[in-house]
Amino acid sequence: MSRPWHAMSVEEVLKELGVGREGLSSQEASERLKKYGPNEIKEVKRRTALQMFLDEFKDVFIILLIAATIFSAIVGYYEMLQGGEFMESFADVITISAIVVLCAVTGFVQEYRAEKAVEALKKLAAPKARVIRDGKEIFIPASEVVPGDILALEAGDHVPADARIIEAVELKASEAVLTGESTPVGKELTVLKEDTPVSERRNMVFSATHIVYGRGKAVAVATGMNTEFGKIAEMVQTAEEEETPLQKKLDRFASKIAKVVIAVCVLIFALEAFEVVMQMHFEIEGFIQAFMSSIALAISAVPEGLPAIVTIALALGAREFAKRNAIVRRLSSAESLGAVTVICSDKTGTITKGEMTVRQIYVDGKLVEVTGVGYEPKGDFRVGDDLVEPGGSLSLLLRIGALCNNASLRRNDQNNTWEVFGDPTEGALIVSAAKTGLWKEALEKSFPRIGEIPFTSERKRMTTIHKTPEGEVHAYMKGAPEVVLERCSRILEDGEEKILTEERRRMILEVNEKLAGNALRVLAMAYRRLPETMAEHHDDEAVEREMVFVGLQGMIDPPREEAIEANKLCQKAGIKTVMITGDHKLTAVAVAREVGIYKEGDLVLTGGELDKLSDEEFERIVEKVTVYARVSPEHKLRIVNALKKKGHIVAMTGDGVNDAPAVKAADVGVAMGITGTDVTKEASDLILMDDNFATIVKAVEQGRVIYDNIRKYARFLLACNFDELLVIGTFAILGGIFGETMFPLPLLPAMILWINLVTDGAPAVALATDPPDVDVMDRPPRKPEEGIMHGMGAFIITSFILQATGTILVFCLEYYVWPSHPWMLPGGIIDEAARELTYREATTTAFVQAAMFELFVVWNCRSEKHSVWKMGRKAFENKFFVIADLASVALTLGITYIPITQQLFHLTGLSLMDLAYVIGVASWGLFIFPELFMGRKVWKWE
């Protein structure tokens, strides 16, 4: 084929395909089906449930925990060889393994459910097709359509393949799903230039679009994956899956923790090995013990709870999304919306409703504003602030629009919406009339149609003839303003017919230009009283002359009212919104200006202009562009990639097939649940079940809340994990040098396990349910390069040093300064029984202090800007957190007095005096004010 199909004549196309107007023979069609394959979109191989589950273990943090589990098992096995109990030796192994499995199962369940909720890539294709074979018109499964088949098309049909028009009678197709064009595209027999873009190929119809008006025939030129729809589906299927911003941050965080753990292992091992050498003990057991001690200490620094808390926070967030009409397909994407810096939004059906609406009317020399959005017949007519009552010229104008019309308006009781069947432009005229109580069905009974002169692209007008209730015969005309004016000799003003002077013609055309300049599609209305002789027999030319001009109706696919508010919130939150559409530049700018996306000085690019720019040139200006018009799927993909190269976190919203590749490539792909195609849903991370742009803003807010709560826990966890490492590491080294009797460990392994799991666990989970800060949508998006620990360093260091100091202080006071049972006798003699009793009391005070400090400091981990003292009543709003913290306090103090837990954890009951001063020391945690450390960076890892 030397030229594309749209650049060839009908005869050339038929000759190239080897088919006549009578269609293929059944035998030839069968042979072509074997050659070209079924007319279907091939699905990529889906992940099995097992693959989805195993993918959960690819997370860097999970791998770190698995490594910790293996080393814990080695330590546990060594302890058992030394005579330790199984449960005590393998407690860490069991606990960390349970956390790993919990994370994997939670993530798998959420993603598996979401995958099942959006399955079926091929549902969009037409199930049946009407073709001409062996000279006869027959119905066949759409999957059996082959290149060369002659398709018979009429209003309501889905187009089963890409096809070249060979006959057209007022044929119009809705191509919004493919190109983003909001108005139906007229189809005609013509030959176009080779470089004509898809959205302007008036002599072609495309797979997955549908016919809204007229009838015609077309010869199939491409099927299956070779269609424009198939090419887009292939782009979606072959696009690589990228990690979300949260996954990247957690991976970096895990890598940093791993470095800390390795450094601690090496340091502790080196110090203990040095001690073995200094004591001249060269037995291998000494070095093994040094290695095991270093591993055990390092494991205590691993934040094993973080993956579980992150997973729980994301799962709870996904549940909140569901309450707000959004399905999260990838769990980590629940947070990612909170990080977006740019939202690239399709216009048709996303920012707008995809429903043409009359916005302005020109009648009686006045411009009338019409309120209401979409097909719902609700709205007012106003001139300035004054309400206009229907009647006179206005009612006649609306009646002409409703009756000179082949569309219909119906209410869908299932979802409580209004739908237009037929041309959306004609539907807008029916709705504008219905807003004043002029319902088309009732008008047709009072003014029955007795004749019609149909619209053609050459005539650019349509006329219908009606009987009036008074028995008169009236002709009603609508069409392009300049064409209708040519047929008019008079004008109706204030109920009186007047001569249509050249001055009046000029004024009407100026109004038309003004309305068209605001991106409104303008239609003129006129009427004429006909002689009764024309009721049954009429000449078209005789009817369409000496008409009376009544007025103009200007319409547009307007923005959703909630989209305007949503965009304001986005701007307030520091998020840039970019409109990307296949629609005309003028229309796109008008809608973008009304929503607030476009402002004076912003750049607007068309697809053609974008093609002329190199990648380097485009990247230099991409941040200044707010509107893209007449773009193709490849353009959308290029826009998203250019923004990502500039360091932005990009969300792409869309519903049509044309949006799918860009939705897939974006950091967060957002599909529409009602109007969205299955291909787009398949490519997305998030699906809006109500197709409401405003839901995105709620999702952004929830995403920020999720990330804030993850940071709260990370800060709490790091602030409280490293104190144990500092305390145990210090005493392990001193004990190695001066002997374990003089410097025994203040905290035992069982106590550390209780603190890390029970004391930390419940309040940490409760942090994931904390309500948002009041300013969550008043601050700009966080910088993409910022790590999870950004700005936490000073708080974390202060906290764990204070906690370690408090733990060491109370231990030393109980063990050295005022022992309850003096154990160091004169002459350096040690009373081992007394020392054991004193040591148990000292470790109990250290355990209670360490645990209670964490339960106090967690209150100051709930906000980065305000301490608990400044939160007021808001500090107690999260009842789950308050209960969790009090329960942890009760459990921690309780095990020191219950005999069986005293034995398990090597504890003893404290006197009220001891308990009071220990809690007093622990209360230092309430006085670490986060506002003092805001923005203070103390290490490069933040």
Active site residues: 346
With 0-12 / 13-18 / 19 or more C-beta atoms within 10 angstroms meaning exposed / middle / buried, residue 139 is exposed
Pair 661, 633: CB distance under 8 Å = yes
Strand partners, 829: 825
CA distances from 924 to 386, 724, 801 (A): 67, 17, 11
Alpha-carbon gap, residue 658 to 684, rounded angstroms: 13
The length of the chain in residues reads 942
| Residue 422: both structure tokens together | 């037929």
SS3 77: helix
Pick the closest to residue 180 from 587, 544, 783, 726 (CA basis): 587
> Cα(667)–Cα(336) distance, rounded to whole angstroms?
8
Grouping H, G, I as helix, E, B as strand and the rest as coil, residue 162 is strand
Category of 424 on φ-ψ map: left (φ > 0), alpha (ψ -120 to 50) or beta = alpha
Q: For residues 897 and 659, what is the distance between their CA atoms, to the nearest angstrom?
A: 64
Query: Distances in Å between the alpha carbon of 515 and those of 71, 505, 524, 912?
Result: 75, 15, 12, 84
Distance CA 637, CA 485 (A): 45
Rounded Cα distance, 101 and 73, in Å: 16
What Å distances lie between residue 134 and 22, 128, 743, CA to CA? 7, 18, 99
- Choose among 684, 768, 566: nearest CA to 327: 684
* Amino acid at site 13: V
- Amino acid identity of residue 752, one-letter, is I
Structure token pair of residue 882: 């308050």
Beta strand 686-688 pairing with 366-370: unpaired
Query: Which distant-in-sequence residues (6+ apart) come within 8 Å of 328 by Cβ?
Result: 110, 114, 317, 318, 321, 322, 334, 685, 686
370 with 356: CB under 8 angstroms?
Answer: no
* Parallel/antiparallel/unpaired status of strands 650-654 and 668-672: parallel
Residue 695 burial by CB count (10 A; 0-12/13-18/19+): exposed, middle or buried? buried
Let me know if 195 is exposed, middle or buried by CB neighbors in 10 A (0-12, 13-18, 19+). Answer: exposed
User: What's 356's DSSP letter?
Assistant: -
What whole-number distance in Å separates Cα of residue 454 and Cα of residue 186? 14
Q: How many Å apart are CA 924 and CA 804, to the nearest integer?
A: 11
286 CA to centre of own chain: 57
Q: What are the beta bridge partners of residue 370?
A: 381
